[in-house]
Amino acid sequence: MTKKISILVVDDEESVRDSLFNWFIEDGYRVECAENASKALSMLESDNFDIILADIKMPGMDGLEMLKRIKTLRKDSIVIIMTAFATVDTAVQALKDGAFDYVTKPFDPDDLSHLIRNASKQISLLEENEILKEKVVSLENIEDLIGNSQAMQQVLREIESVAQSNASVIITGESGTGKELVARAIHANSPRKFFPMVSVHCGALSESLLESELFGHEKGAFTGAVYNRKGRFEMADSGTIFLDEIATISPKMQVELLRVLESKSFVRVGGNKEITSDFRVICATNRDLKTMVEKGIFREDLFYRLNVVNINVPPLRERIDDIPLLVEYFIRKYCTSMNRPPMTIEVAALKRLEEFPFPGNIRELENMIERAIVVGNGKKISLRDLPLGKTLVSTTVESLDDLEKNHISQILSKYNWNISVSAKALKVDRVTLYNKIRKYDLKPAK
Amino acid sequence: MNLENITLISFGYFEKELLEMIVNEIEHEFSFPVKTREGFLALSEYYDAARKQYNGNELLKVIESRFATETTKTLGLFNVDLFIPILTYIFGQAFLNGRSGIASIYRLSNERYGIEKNQNTFVNRIRKEVIHELGHTFGLIHCSNPTCVMRSSTYVEDIDQKNHHLCGKCKATLDFLISEGVKS
């Protein structure tokens, strides 16, 4: 149901007040009238009106002066100024002082309807804006960040202290520990929260794609660049850019990134115009960047530029106390999303979960609970619903090469390094298999 | 208020048949008998020389004070161009949930807009305007249903878009308002 709009008519002429009163009443609005500015102002102190329709020429305080006072009382008030003698100067002055519109008396009935319709639209937009802002604010305590353990409380304290600053942050932690959630929490609690947080998964993109993704490109910069495209740095203007898997970027991109971080300006691929953007950088990695710097794989200057603050998200095995809370949260989350009645978990099952090492961390636990709800009896999660024997999420494998290496190694071991049989199982020829063994430096276990 | 009838009072020259053609629909819409009669007013008193129009606010007041009664809904029908101080023209106006209203046929004919005369369209527009203003006197406000007679109209094209019946919602409101009025 829509809210009933209230209108205050301020005019010294009784006939004008009566006319507008009758007109608006017939339209179903709540209408009140005041014969001068002082009465209108006192009415506004005790009552809220959505729209104020005021004559510009009134004895005592005129409409423009009243407009200024109304704006100090309520900044969002919609004031429409009416006058019998229109001059450009007064119209401009009224609009400069914050009037919503300016009309010359008498006006067409249709103009009046349009005026009020537009004002009503503005009111509903303002209200919608407020509601949306409240919703955004309510994200502040990101509800997915769960944990009462000391380790997690420490992370939350670090988020709180770093959020208000503009410092670059590196979030480290094993895969599946919730690094992106920590980044979101930092953004949501920062002064940049009403601007976008743009995420880039660096590991998923090749060097050229990542370059175009981060900096954008001009039309015709490369085959397939049919349109101009904004880059992620540009999109993150006034907000935050989250660079996930930062350790995977190439040396060339490291140089480019360092330059952008230092100057906060860049050029689109294929373009020549310098673009500036005000963004905050948050990075995440599951690798030890310091060791990478020592080995010369990651640039030292970039590392120090990014590593102003380091937040380490502990693996699940170091915060066993949080497992019951997390289990309860995931059960609630998936029961709701699957439209199932609330479920519980057997004590024995929970105990086993607390003993499980969870190499895939929270992501693995979450997947486990989701699966248990799907396959379970719909009332209680039992031990047999939990796939505790095998790891659901591969954690250490990052690249396709790693995956291939592991798989070939497993097959070779399975067939006792019989190359012919292994090649057949892998559906490749023997030469290819030998090449792969050389490439990955695979050797039979002693 | 114990309502007995609706009275249409014409001021100025009106073809007798014209009023007879709209009475049935009004009776059908409001379920009250409709009486028609001629009224006399010195319209020049309400003429605004600067605007070359007649003051609708003043005419409404005079209908209320001199012609309306406790037991009728009275509508003054004029053939002159009406205005109110704030608007360039009006088709009509009424006291919301009051005893009286006014309507003008001046801007309802095709000829006024340089289009070929069409008596049917003209009568239909008068019918809709009269039912609309009477609806206000019964307490109905503007309706958002595009075909409801209580839809606000600022141009004759808007009047043509709607039909001369109350929509289901307005009809139900009218029945409620009438029953409340009878109780009081």
The C-alpha atoms of residue A55 and residue A433 are separated, in whole angstroms, by 89
Q: How many CB pairs under 8 A join A and B?
A: 63
**Which are the catalytic amino acids of B?**
133
- Nearest-neighbour CA in chain B from A16: distance (Å): 6
**Considering only CA atoms, which of A288, A311, A298 is closest in space to residue A170?**
A311
Average pLDDT of span A33-55: 88
The C-alpha atoms of residue A370 and residue B183 are separated, in whole angstroms, by 63
Mutate to test the interface with A, among B60, B86, B145 (most CBs of A within 10 A): B86
Cβ-nearest to A26 among B85, B88, B136: B136
Cβ-nearest to A107 among B88, B90, B95: B88
Which region holds residue A413: left if phi is over 0, alpha if psi is between -120 and 50, else beta? alpha
Residue B58: the pLDDT is 92
**Considering only CA atoms, which of A380, A355, A378 is closest in space to residue A365?**
A355
Contact A106 B154 (CB under 8 A): no
Residue B94: the pLDDT is 93
- Nearest-neighbour CA in chain A from B85: distance (Å): 6
Environment class of A174 (CB within 10 Å of its CB; exposed 0-12, middle 13-18, buried 19+):
buried
**Domains in chain A, CATH or no CATH each:** 6-128 (3.40.50.2300), 143-314 (3.40.50.300), 317-440 (1.10.8.60)
Q: Is B136 on the interface with A (CB under 8 A)?
A: yes
In A, minimum Cα distance to B142 occurs at: A27
Full-model pTM? 0.52
Confirm whether the ipTM is greater than 0.90.
no
Environment class of A138 (CB within 10 Å of its CB; exposed 0-12, middle 13-18, buried 19+):
exposed
Contact A26 B152 (CB under 8 A): yes
The C-alpha atoms of residue A356 and residue B59 are separated, in whole angstroms, by 89
Mutate to test the interface with B, among A22, A110, A116 (most CBs of B within 10 A): A22
Contact A113 B57 (CB under 8 A): no
- Nearest-neighbour CA in chain A from B139: distance (Å): 9
pLDDT digits (tens, 9 = 90+) for A381-419: 888 888 775 544 445 556 788 888 888 988 888 888 889
Is A102 a residue whose pLDDT tops 90? no
pLDDT digits (tens, 9 = 90+) for A163-192: 888 999 999 998 888 898 899 889 988 888
Residue B107: the pLDDT is 94
